[in-house]
Structure 1
Amino acid sequence: MSLPKTAYILLWYPLPSETFIFREVENAKAAGMPFSVYALYGEAAKHLSSDMRRVSPSVTRLGLRAVPRILTDMAWWAVRRPVETARILAGIPWRRWSCLEVAGENVWAMCAGFSLARMFLEAGIERIHAGWANGPATAAWVASRLSGIPFSFSARAGDIYPQDGALAEKMRAARAILTNNKANIPYLASILPEAAGKISQIYNSLTLGGKSVSPVHMEPPYRLLAVGRFCRTKGFEVLIDACAVLSRRGFPFQLTLVGAGLPLPTAVIRRRVRIHGLRARVFLPGFVSHDRMGELYAASDIFVMPSVVHPSGDRDGIPNVIMEALAHQLPVVATDVCGIPEVVEDGVTGRLVGQRDPGALADAIMALAADRDRAVAMAEAGRKRVAAMFDPETNTRSVLDFFARTTGNGRD
């Protein structure tokens, strides 16, 4: 197949919390996709795996050090494309963004787009792709408008829930749109029905190697595991409340809650643990590197993913930790948010409960613990489903096919 020389735009790359994007990019490159990665921000150097450290020097980064170049390039484009430059500057900053943080990200992305457009012309880039529908897609859109190079973008989770102030316009201008779960397709189509034909769906690829089967001893105290960033869509406060329910019922357990966030979210979790008197039962080890996660899956009995929809509309797509847990044949309890039911089918591949319901979470955990054979059978079915849906070789071929069939002829 004919594959276009493609610039892949992200905010950060590589990022420890985005192993699924890292694998998408690196697997595609290994299969022959001519990706060059551009990061709008500087380097996220903490907690990188050895593979991430290896590729980090190859990334073209902007960040604050690029401000002089960006200003120069904005002036350069103002001379060569004065009308389009004026339209961009008069339009994008004044959209109705959902909050100041989102506005700042997109204004920075707009400015970076001026430099990226010039870089892409100099590098002979034939296609621009943004790894997220928010800031990266704004940068791709601006670079495309200036350079004439067609662009596409991926739409995943918090980048489209809620939609930002220019998502419909980016969808209209894009050559193609890629999403990683089926639940996003009707949502995106409802935003701009005329773009429905541009939307393709490809699941993420599994990211952990050496996926051995977890022993699932299922003996008291039952070992619960939860993993994720401490942010508003993960529902970890609800999980702590569920642990309080388990404790009141006399259920013997220990929870390892792996992850980190800004100081405030972390403090909120710790305070909830303290209020419920759970400090002897709930362990918060902080961030654990991706290459050590296999040990935690192997040492656990039940994996819990209590995702919630934030009042703003923000939500998870399909948390990759669910696939990783099932790949290790670890029984899973999760909530019925967004694309999660595509993987966790209640009573078939795990237990699925409604969001924000500590009692239902506690009930599902206790039911799995009470019937190990049934729990392991569901986990085995989940492992088979995950192996089929998130197979790296199959999904990497699909990524390459996406770029090949949506390239078209030349620039727009």
Structure 2
Amino acid sequence: MTKQGSPRGASPPSRVAIVVKGYPRLSETFIAQEILGLERNGLDLAIWSLRHPTERVSHPMHRQIAAPVTYLPEYLYQEPLRVLRGALAALRNPRLGKLLSAFWRDLKRDFTPNRGRRLGQALVMARELPPDIRHLHVHYLHTPASVVRYTSLLTGLSFSFSAHAKDIWTTPEWEKREKIAESAWGVTCTETGHRHLAALAPDAGHVRLVYHGLDLSRFPAPPKGRPPRDGSDPADPVRIISVGRAVAKKGYDDLLSALAALPEGLHWRFAHIGSGELLASLKQQAAAKGIGHKVIFLGAKAQPDVISLMREADIFVLPAKEAKSGDRDGLPNVVMEAASQGLAIIATDFSGIPEFIRHDREGWLTPPGDWESLANALNLLARDPQVRHRLGMAAYERLRNDFSADGGIARIAALLRASLSVATDQGAAKTEKEEARP
């Protein structure tokens, strides 16, 4: 039967559901950048989020995204009728047995309330998905991918994934292996993550390496010249900045130790931008080390404010490391954002960072967890504005030449179009088969 308003024989319009853990989120500008880029590539999208937003401010990109947003029940007890309607609809679904078998295998290995919540969210999503959704694409391979996998089993829709950081390194191997095998394809954003996930994939090429990159059209050009501060003037100290959530993997405890070890004659100020669970303890640590008067914690800021502060700074620093939980960063977007402003970067030789920053070429790298090396790097760059200028401009050129967002988004758009094409062909074949029945 042809949809009203569609020419007979024409394929109905089809959309991709983009599934995220929370939307919008300031810490995930790379996801917003990708969604906006996919829309500009002509894809019709719908956003499904497992959580409501928790931040008062959003990125300007979020206001440019046209895709509608649907929020699943964050906690099942909060929207029992939606969950009940999803469960009743599933009882009439012939695929329910396949879903329950997979869920039971998962539950035996992960007997947690969280596992049941993901099933409930999937029941809601499977019932409420519009018929023009033909493919599911999920950001993060841990809990969001569980919801999408269960939804896929119940609806028969194909799904793909984009893996980033924590989801790669804290998800059990059995779970990653099974999700990857059931997916149509996947992408990840660092060579380290790609090697790990490719080893779990059923065949070569199932998981691709696609850097997020940065859309430089969203950023002003680097400042033409920064003041040649060298830390000798107490009235004009060297300005050091970092942007990132106050969590263990960012290494801010190491950074405060390094700052406290800087020579007394070196004049500096440090500003941190971001929220996070360790913010209060970091403030206490700064005070206990006697540097509280030189350190300011600004909390979460909108993107224009972040860029403005970067343009006024002399050094950007991010001492990322592996947390005790196994969590780690990939290639943090804030490192590329600092490069977009020609800012000298000090970071750790860890995870995906050295794929972009090469030591003494585009920035200065120190071993993760080594606050003494970090202090030496800060002391060196704080005293030498010429070195800072050389490193900052080299990072900008590498970003512009090798890490543009356009290429990566084009690759993902092509993969999504291919998945939509397969789904459309399968749907047409099914319709023809049903219409051929007597």
TM-score for both structures, normalised by structure 2: 0.85
Q: 1:50 to 1:375 in 2, by over 3 A?
A: closer
Superposed displacement of residue 51, structure 1: 4.3
1:112-137 Cα shifts (integer Å, max 9, x gaps): 112222333x4221111101111111
**2:36 touches 2:64 (CA, 8 Å); kept in 1?**
no
**2:180 maps to amino acid:** M
1:68 equivalent in alignment to 2:81 = yes
1:91 match: 105
Match of 2:210 in 1: 202
1:36 aligned partner, one-letter code:
A
Q: In the aligned structure 1, how far is the partner of 2:103 from the partner of 2:194?
A: 31
Residues 218 and 366 of structure 1: CA distance in aligned 2, closer, same or farther (over 3 Å): farther
Given residue 384 of structure 2, which amino acid in structure 1 is its aligned partner?
A: D
Match of 2:279 in 1: 266
Report the counterpart of residue 133 of structure 1 in structure 2: 141
User: Does 2:22 match 1:9?
Assistant: no
CA shift digits 1:225-244 (9 cap, x unpaired)? 01101112100111000001
Distance, in Å, in 1 between the alignment partners of 2:203 and 2:56 is: 39
Q: Identify which of 37, 42, 52 aligns with 1:42.
A: 52
Matches for 1:207-222 after TM superposition, within 5 Å: 209-214=218-223, 215-219=225-229, 220=231, 221-222=237-238
| Counterpart for residue 351 of structure 1 | 364
Indicate conservation of the 8 Å contact 2:241/2:316, yes or no.
yes
DSSP-derived class of the 2:191 partner? coil
User: What is the identity, as a one-letter code, of the residue corresponding to 1:237?
Assistant: D
Change (3 A) 1:250 1:195: farther
Instruction: Find the residue that maps to 1:194 and give its secondary structure.
Output: coil
- Partner of 1:11: helix, strand, or coil? strand
Find the residue that maps to 2:292 and give its secondary structure.
coil
Q: 1:166 aligns with which of 175, 178, 185?
A: 175
Query: Percent of aligned pairs with the same residue?
Result: 26
Partner in structure 1 of residue 417 of structure 2: 404
User: What is the CA-CA distance between 1:195 and the residue it aligns to?
Assistant: 4.4
Does structure 1 retain, via aligned residues, the 8 Å contact 2:46–2:67?
A: no
List structure 1 segments (4+ residues) > 6 angstroms apart after TM superposition.
Answer: none
CA distance in 2, matches of 1:249, 1:4: 63
Alpha-carbon displacement from aligned partner over 1:37-65 (angstroms, at most 9, x marks no partner): 11112243511235425659920111245
Distance 1:194 1:54 in 2: 38
Q: 1:372, 1:303 → 2: CA distance?
A: 13
Q: Aligned partners of 1:167 and 1:227: how far apart in 2?
A: 30
**C-alpha distance in structure 1 between counterparts of 2:329 and 2:103, whole Å:** 32
Q: Residue 245 of structure 2 corresponds to which residue in structure 1?
A: 229
One-letter code aligned to 2:209: Q
Tell me which amino acid in the other structure corresponds to 1:277: G
C-alpha separation in 1, matches of 2:79 and 2:29: 26
- Does the C-alpha gap of structure 1 residues 361 and 4 become closer, same or farther in structure 2, counting only changes over 3 Å? farther
For residues 161 and 71 of structure 1, do their structure 2 counterparts lie closer, same or farther at Cα, with a shift above 3 Å needed?
same
For residues 35 and 154 of structure 1, the distance between their equivalents in structure 2, rounded to whole angstroms, comes to: 16
Aligned to 2:28: 18
* Deviations, residues 199-253 of structure 1 (Å, cap 9, x unaligned): 112111426723231433241221110110111210011100000111x453221
Larger Rg: 2
What are the residue-to-residue correspondences of 1:150-189 with 2, within 5 Å? Answer: 150-164=158-172, 166-189=175-198
- Give the conservation status (yes or no) of the 8 Å contact 1:207–1:324: no
Q: Which residue of 2 aligns with 1:245?
A: 261
* Contact map agreement 1:92 1:107 (CA 8 A) in 2: no
Give the equivalent residue in structure 2 for 1:100: none
Query: Structure 1: any 5+ residue segments left out of the alignment?
Result: 98-102
**Pair 36,365 (structure 1): closer, same or farther in 2 beyond 3 Å:** same
**1:300 deviation in Å?**
0.5
Structure 2 Cα separation of the partners of residues 389 and 68 of structure 1: 50
The structural deviation recorded for 1:106 is 4.3
* RMSD over equivalenced CA pairs, Å: 2.3
Take 1:12 and 1:71, find their aligned partners in 2: how far apart are those partners?
A: 23
**In 2, Cα distance between equivalents of 1:89 and 1:374:** 56
Q: 1:78 aligns with which of 85, 91, 99?
A: 91
* Aligned position for 1:59: 69
Which deviates more from structure 2 when the two are superposed, residues 198-207 or residues 296-305? 198-207
CA–CA separation in structure 2 for the residues paired with 1:407 and 1:123: 13
Q: Which of these residues, 290, 293, 301, is aligned with residue 303 of structure 2?
A: 290
Q: How does 1:259-338 map to 2 (within 5 A)?
A: 259-262=274-277, 265-338=278-351
CA-to-aligned-CA distance 1:308-335 (integer Å, 9 cap, x gap): 1012221000111100001100000000
Number of aligned residue pairs: 401
Shift of 1:70: 2.0
Structure 2, gaps ≥5 residues long = 1-10, 232-236, 428-438
**Counterpart-to-counterpart distance in 2, 1:67 and 1:388:** 51
Quick one: distance in 1 between partners of 2:287 and 2:204? 48
Q: What secondary structure is seen at the aligned counterpart in 2 of 1:288?
A: coil
Contact 1:178 1:202 in 2 (8 A): yes
Distance 1:353 1:92, change over 3 A: same
d(CA) in 1 for partners of 2:66 and 2:251? 32
Name the residue aligned to 2:380. Answer: 367
- Pairwise CA distance, 1:91: 2.7
Q: What TM-score, normalized to structure 1?
A: 0.90
| Deviates further, 75-84 or 35-44 | 75-84
